[in-house]
Amino acid sequence: MNRLLRRICARRIPPFRVATNNLTIAGRTLLVSPIPLDRRDRTLAEQLSAAFVALGWLVAGAFFVTALAFGVNRTWLTAQFEESRQAVATEAAAYTAMIDEEDGTRAYLLTRDVRFLEPYLRGELERTAANRTLSGYEGTVAKFSGLMLRTRMAEERWRERWGEAVVDTRPGALMPTMLDGKALFDDYRLEHAAFVASLTARRDRLGQREQYLVAVRVALELSVFIAVLILAVRQHRALRLAIVDPVAELLRHIRRVRDGKLEATLDPGGPRELRQLGEGLNEMVRALSAAREAAASRDGALSQHSIRLHQILDASREFSESLNLSYVVGSVRESTLAIGGYERVLVWLMDDEQRRLVNSEQSDISEIPGDPLQGLAGRAAKSGRTTFEGPAGQIRFSDSNTMAVRAIAIPLIVGARVVGVLEARHVEPQFPTKEVLEVLEMLATHAATAIESARLHEVIEERSHVDALTRLLNRRRLDEDLEAECKRCLRYSRPLSFVMLDVDHFKAFNDAHGHPQADTALQEVANVIATSVRATDTAYRYGGEEFCILLRETNAEDAMHFAERLRKRIEQRFVADGILGITASFGVADFSTGAPTARALVEAADAAMYESKNAGRNRVALSLGKPFVPSAALVPAES
Catalytic residues: 545
The helix/strand/coil state of 31 is strand
Strand 620-622, strand 584-590: pairing: parallel
Expressed in angstroms, the distance from the first to the final Cα of the chain is: 126
CA distances from residue 558 to 92, 165, 534 in whole angstroms, order as listed = 124, 134, 13
Cα 516 to the chain's mean position, in Å?
49
Q: Answer whether 549's CB lies under 8 Å from 538's CB.
A: yes
Backbone φ/ψ region at 572: left (φ over 0), alpha (ψ -120 to 50), beta: alpha
DSSP states of 57-84 as a string?
Answer: HHHHHHHHHHHHHHHHIIIIIIHHHHHH
Burial (CB count <10 Å: 0-12, 13-18, 19+), residue 461: exposed
C-alpha R_g of the chain: 56
Kindly state the helix (H) or strand (E) to which residue 586 belongs, with its residue range.
strand 584-590
Label residue 424 exposed, middle or buried (CB < 10 Å: 0-12, 13-18, 19+).
buried
- Nearest 5°: CA angle at 133, between 130 and 139? 135
For residues 521 and 383, give the distance between their C-alpha atoms in angstroms, rounded to a whole number. Answer: 43
Query: Under 8 Å CB-to-CB from 572, ≥6 apart: which residues?
Result: 639
E strands along 26-138, which residues?
A: 28-31, 35-36
- Taking the C-alpha atoms of residue 55 and residue 496, their distance in angstroms, rounded to an integer, is 108
SS (H, E, C) 330-376: HHHHHHHHHHHCCCEEEEEEECCCCCCEEECCCCCECCCCCCCCCHH
Taking the C-alpha atoms of residue 156 and residue 137, their distance in angstroms, rounded to an integer, is 20
Q: How far apart are CA 489 and CA 593, in angstroms?
A: 12
Instruction: Of 591, 590, 589, 557, give the one whose Cα is nearest residue 486.
Output: 591
Taking the C-alpha atoms of residue 218 and residue 215, their distance in angstroms, rounded to an integer, is 5
Q: Tell me if residue 265 falls in helix, strand or coil.
A: coil
Beta strands 546-552 and 496-503 are antiparallel
Report how many helices (DSSP H) and strands (DSSP E) the chain contains, helices first: 18, 15
Distance of alpha carbon 377 from alpha carbon 421, whole angstroms: 6
Distance between CA atoms of residues 546 and 524, nearest Å: 13
Using a CB cutoff of 8 Å and minimum separation of 24, what contacts does 136-144 make?
Answer: 137/83, 137/86, 137/87, 137/90, 140/83, 141/202, 144/195, 144/198, 144/199, 144/202
Q: CA–CA separation, 165 vs 162, rounded Å? A: 5
588: β partners: 499, 622
